């Protein structure tokens, strides 16, 4: 098999071949490292590449599999993590100048769990500085390149994670999602992005943006792969007291369950207003597919959604300010202008404001929780529009001007405030050839149901199989 082909599989497709020793983890890792060496200057997905470490891990995986010690579907699979997950002994910049020379002294729990599952770490990935921004425009390391169109934003803050996953530079990646930072780049780059329930995946060893809203999660090329990665990283961690002692279900096993009879809530007010027409059409078409599969779609109204942006911002700026306060005093010039200003906003929020936002958050959880007693999951667009142009900070939608950076997270952050599991999966393409994301959100700790719905949809569509022309040399299309 040609090396280039080895970078285009999903995990679910490649894992059985690795187990049967038809392909070696070393070959697969080398193919990815070669591709990174060839493409990363252009795509700017990686900040640090770890060839020696990766090849050593791949050789270990090869030897273990040869001895019959197969660990499972991530064994020998090349993956990468956003550059704010600590890998012991490896530079961790958080996309910043401030931590440009910082070397992690600890290992994030999820990184350890990936390695325990036999995954091969290729390196760390570009992001919006300190994960605070939905664009991934990074003044220190350059902006990751959207593989569908280099003139478009990749989304953020986990932009490098989405680009690497879609462009064949890693088979799966990890990102963090505080207001949509896994789901937004997943939607804009055409991959699956999963934000698990708050407390399902450990945050230990992950540099915080906002403790009470941060959620680590996978970006993958298929729903099955998201289930496989979640399986490896989920579960209680004594080092993160917010993780819950709950059994972790068999996510991959749950995918093939029946979706007929499930009820899907469609909150049309707020989530379907001021929407790009092509996004609206793609999401309606996706709902039609789900209805054909026997899912009942029920229109809902969640009136508190309109107050989410203010409450969300108050919590984010307050917690982020607390994280960055000392550097903001002593090294303000080392931040990019946008992040510095957002951080400074935290100095204007009073303790009473923060607590008011947290009280609103409790009320929002009640409202959404009541809705989720009537339906099994919610469906919305992931973003207002497909990937915006890099040079177009303001766009016109529904007759109004919309500031892109401030509104990319409009539909995603409600599920950070509620902590509910939510994923984005490809549900179509715009006339310009840009991917569009469908968001599914579920009940607390019920990732299995949204994965099952997403899998059923994916089995009846082929959007996730499209590859950008940049990732295929001169030709795009279906893999």
Partner 1 sequence: MAESPVTLETLRQLAALAGLPFGDAELAELVPQAAALLAELHRLEALDLAAVEPALRFACLPGEGDGG
Per CB under 8 A, residues contacting partner 1 are: 199, 212, 238, 241-245, 304, 307, 309-311, 313-314, 317, 325, 328-329, 332, 340-341, 344-345, 347-349, 353, 355-363, 365
Catalytic residues: 82, 157, 181
Listed in sequence order, the DSSP H helices in 375-440 are 404-407, 414-417
In contact, 455 and 446? CB cutoff 8 Å: no
- Measured from the CB atom, is 32 or 200 closer to partner 1? 200
- Measured from the CB atom, is 139 or 433 closer to partner 1? 139
- Element (H or E) spanning 437, and its range? strand 435-442
- Measured from the CB atom, is 66 or 363 closer to partner 1? 363
- Measured from the CB atom, is 16 or 332 closer to partner 1? 332
Least spacing, CB of residue 340 vs partner 1, in Å: 8
Question: Among all chains, which residue has been given the structure tokens 């799966």?
Answer: 172
201 closest CA partner among 229, 173, 236: 236
Least spacing, CB of residue 419 vs partner 1, in Å: 9
Strand blocks (E) in 62-186: 78-82, 120-125, 172-177
Q: Cα–Cα distances in Å, from 404 out to 54, 133, 155, 259, 395?
A: 37, 11, 10, 35, 7
Least spacing, CB of residue 349 vs partner 1, in Å: 7
Q: What's the token pair of residue 91?
A: 């530079």
Q: Kindly state the greatest CA–CA separation across the chain.
A: 64
Least spacing, CB of residue 376 vs partner 1, in Å: 24
Least spacing, CB of residue 364 vs partner 1, in Å: 9
Question: Among all chains, which residue has been given the structure tokens 């010690």?
Answer: 69
- Measured from the CB atom, is 376 or 446 closer to partner 1? 446
> Rounded to the nearest 5 degrees, what angle is found at the Cα of 189, between the Cα atoms of 186 and 195?
5
Distance (Å, whole) CA 167 – CA 468: 7
- Measured from the CB atom, is 277 or 307 closer to partner 1? 307
Q: Which three-class secondary structure state does DSSP give residue 428? A: strand
- Measured from the CB atom, is 48 or 358 closer to partner 1? 358
Q: What's the token pair of residue 45?
A: 């997905």
- Measured from the CB atom, is 187 or 368 closer to partner 1? 368
Residue 95 neighbours by CB under 8 Å, 6+ apart: 47, 83, 84, 126, 127, 128, 129, 130, 131, 138, 140, 141, 157
Least spacing, CB of residue 9 vs partner 1, in Å: 37
Least spacing, CB of residue 238 vs partner 1, in Å: 7
> Rounded to the nearest 5 degrees, what angle is found at the Cα of 351, between the Cα atoms of 347 and 356?
120
175 closest CA partner among 140, 206, 212, 213: 206
Distance (Å, whole) CA 86 – CA 111: 8
Buried b (16+ CB within 10 A) or exposed e, 410-438: bbbbbbbbbbbbbbbbbbbbbeeebbbbb
157 preceded by a cis bond (ω within 30 of 0) = yes
- Element (H or E) spanning 41, and its range? helix 25-43
Tell me, rounded to whole angstroms, the distance of Cα 242 from its chain centroid: 20
């Amino acid at each position: 098999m040609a090396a280039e082909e080895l970078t285009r599989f999903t995990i679910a497709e490649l894992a059985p071949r690795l187990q049967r020793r038809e392909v070696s983890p070393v070959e697969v890792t080398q193919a990815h490292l070669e591709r990174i060496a060839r493409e990363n200057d252009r795509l700017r997905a990686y900040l640090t590449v770890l060839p020696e470490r990766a090849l050593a891990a791949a050789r270990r995986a090869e030897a273990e599999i040869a001895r019959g010690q197969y660990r499972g579907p991530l064994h020998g699979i090349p993956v990468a993590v956003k550059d704010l997950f600590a890998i012991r002994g490896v530079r961790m910049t958080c996309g910043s100048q401030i931590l440009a020379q910082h070397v992690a002294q600890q290992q994030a729990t999820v990184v350890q769990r990936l390695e325990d599952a036999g995954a091969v770490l290729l390196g760390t990935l570009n992001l919006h500085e300190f994960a605070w921004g939905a664009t991934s425009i990074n003044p220190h390391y350059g902006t990751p390149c959207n593989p569908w169109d280099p003139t478009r934003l990749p989304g953020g803050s986990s932009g490098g994670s989405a680009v690497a996953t879609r462009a064949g530079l890693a088979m799966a990646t990890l990102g963090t999602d505080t207001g949509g930072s896994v789901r937004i780049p997943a939607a804009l780059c055409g991959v699956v992005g999963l934000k698990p329930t708050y407390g399902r995946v450990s945050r230990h060893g992950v540099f915080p943006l906002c403790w009470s809203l941060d959620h680590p999660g996978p970006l993958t090329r298929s729903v099955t792969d998201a289930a496989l990665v979640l399986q490896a990283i989920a579960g209680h961690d004594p080092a993160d007291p917010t993780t819950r002692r709950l059994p972790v279900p068999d996510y991959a096993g749950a995918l093939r369950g029946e979706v007929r009879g499930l009820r899907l809530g469609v909150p049309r007010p707020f989530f379907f207003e001021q929407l790009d027409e092509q996004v609206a059409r793609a999401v309606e078409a996706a709902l039609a597919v789900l209805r054909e599969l026997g899912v009942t779609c029920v229109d809902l109204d969640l009136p508190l959604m309109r107050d989410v942006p203010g409450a969300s911002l108050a919590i984010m700026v307050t917690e982020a300010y607390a994280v960055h306060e000392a550097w903001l005093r002593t090294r303000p010039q080392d931040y990019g202008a946008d992040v510095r200003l957002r951080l400074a906003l935290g100095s204007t929020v009073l303790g009473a404001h923060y607590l008011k936002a947290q009280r609103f958050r409790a009320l929002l959880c009640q409202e959404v929780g009541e809705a989720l007693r009537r339906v099994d999951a919610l469906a919305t667009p992931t973003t207002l529009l497909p990937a915006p142009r890099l040079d177009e900070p303001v766009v016109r939608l529904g007759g109004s001007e919309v500031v892109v950076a401030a509104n990319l997270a409009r539909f995603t952050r409600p599920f950070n405030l509620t902590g509910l599991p939510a994923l984005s999966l490809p549900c179509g393409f715009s006339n310009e050839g840009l991917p569009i994301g469908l968001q599914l959100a579920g009940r607390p700790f019920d990732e299995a149901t949204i994965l099952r719905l997403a899998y059923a949809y994916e089995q009846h569509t082929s959007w996730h199989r499209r590859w950008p022309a940049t990732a295929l040399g001169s030709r795009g299309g279906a893999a």
